[in-house]
C-alpha cells in the first residue's frame, strides 16, 4: 500500500497475523525496513514487486531490532541483493550478528528446565532459527543520526522493547516507522506490548520521545497504518 510519494507499507500475511514492513525509495536507493518471519521471503518479494520495484534492487535493509519476526528473511533477501547494506543500532547489532544471545531466547534458556514441553519445543526451534540466521550488520547507527538516503531518515533510539530498538522518521513524508516500540489502539498511539517488552517503563519513556516528532502518519509493525494529519 503506497502511503507517500516515496514510501509504501508492505502488508505481509502469515503466522496467524499481518505484519507491516516499510519500503522507501529515492534516486537509486531502495530501503526495506524489517524483513518478516522466516519463510515469508516470497511474500515480501511479491509485495515489493507490487510497488513497482524489485527485491534485487534493495540497497539498504534497516532492522529495527533483533526479534525473529523482524530479521527472519534478511539472509534470503541478501541472496537476492548481495550488495545491500544492513543497518541496526549499535546496541542491537551483537544480538543480530550472533555475538550475544537474543534477550527473549536467553530468558527462556535460563529457565529451560522449568518450561512446559510445548515451550521447550518452541525454545529449541528459536535457538536453531537464530543460529542459522546470524546477520552481519554492515553499518551501526545511533540516536539522532540522519541517514542521507530517501529524503533523509532519522534514527530514534527507542529502547524498552529491546535494548537497541529504533524507530525511523522519514523526513520527506513525516512518517514514523515505529517497529514494536509503538502500537495503535482506538486510533491512538500507544507503547510496546508489555508481554513482549523487557523494560516497560523505559519503553513508555521512549514512546514519549518518539511522539515529539512532527508525525504525519505512523506505521506500527503489528498494528498497521495510522494517518494523523495531511
- What is the per-residue pLDDT across 18-40, written as a single tens digit (0 to 9) for each? 999 999 999 999 999 999 999 99
DSSP string, 96-155: HTTSS--HHHHHHHHTGGGS-HHHHHHHHHHHHHHHH-----SEEE-TT-EE-STT-EEE
Every domain of the chain with CATH number 3.60.15.10 lies at 2-98+134-227
The pTM score is 0.96
| pLDDT value, residue 15 | 78
CB 9 within 8 A of CB 20: yes
CATH of domain 2-98+134-227: 3.60.15.10
Cell (9 digits) for 83: 550488495
Q: How high is the pLDDT of residue 10?
A: 98
The answer for residues whose C-beta is within 8 angstroms of residue 114's C-beta and 6 or more apart is none
Is the predicted pLDDT of residue 75 greater than 90, yes or no? yes
What pLDDT, in 10s, does the model give residues 136-189? 999 999 999 999 999 999 999 999 999 999 999 999 999 999 999 999 999 999
Is residue 46 pLDDT above 90, yes or no? yes
Question: 90 pLDDT exceeds 90?
Answer: yes
What span, in angstroms and rounded, lies between the C-alpha atoms of 31 and 182? 20
In contact, 42 and 12? CB cutoff 8 Å? no
Amino acid at each position: 500500500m503506497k502511503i507517500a510519494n516515496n514510501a509504501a507499507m508492505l502488508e505481509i500475511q502469515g503466522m496467524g497475523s499481518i505484519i507491516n514492513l516499510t519500503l522507501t525509495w529515492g534516486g537509486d536507493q531502495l530501503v526495506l525496513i524489517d524483513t518478516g518471519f522466516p519463510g515469508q521471503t516470497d511474500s515480501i518479494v511479491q509485495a515489493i514487486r507490487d510497488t513497482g520495484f524489485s527485491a534485487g534492487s534493495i540497497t539498504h535493509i534497516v532492522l529495527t531490532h533483533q526479534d525473529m519476526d523482524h530479521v527472519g528473511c534478511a539472509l534470503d533477501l541478501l541472496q537476492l541483493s548481495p550488495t545491500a547494506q544492513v543497518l541496526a543500532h549499535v546496541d542491537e547489532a551483537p544480538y543480530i550478528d550472533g555475538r550475544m544471545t537474543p534477550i527473549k531466547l536467553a530468558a527462556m534458556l535460563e529457565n529451560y528446565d522449568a518450561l512446559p514441553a510445548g515451550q521447550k519445543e518452541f525454545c529449541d526451534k528459536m535457538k536453531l532459527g537464530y543460529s542459522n540466521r546470524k546477520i552481519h550488520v554492515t553499518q551501526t547507527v545511533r540516536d539522532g543520526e540522519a541517514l542521507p538516503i530517501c529524503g533523509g531518515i532519522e534514527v530514534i533510539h527507542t529502547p524498552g522493547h529491546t535494548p537497541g530498538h529504533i524507530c525511523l522518521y522519514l523526513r520527506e513524508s513525516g512518517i514514523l516507522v515505529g517497529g514494536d516500540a509503538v502500537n495503535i489502539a482506538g486510533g491512538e498511539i500507544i507503547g510496546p506490548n508489555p508481554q513482549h517488552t523487557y523494560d516497560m517503563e523505559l519503553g513508555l519513556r521512549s514512546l514519549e520521545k518518539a511522539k515529539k516528532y512532527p508525525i504525519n502518519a505512523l506505521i506500527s509493525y503489528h498494528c498497521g497504518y495510522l494517518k494523523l494529519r495531511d
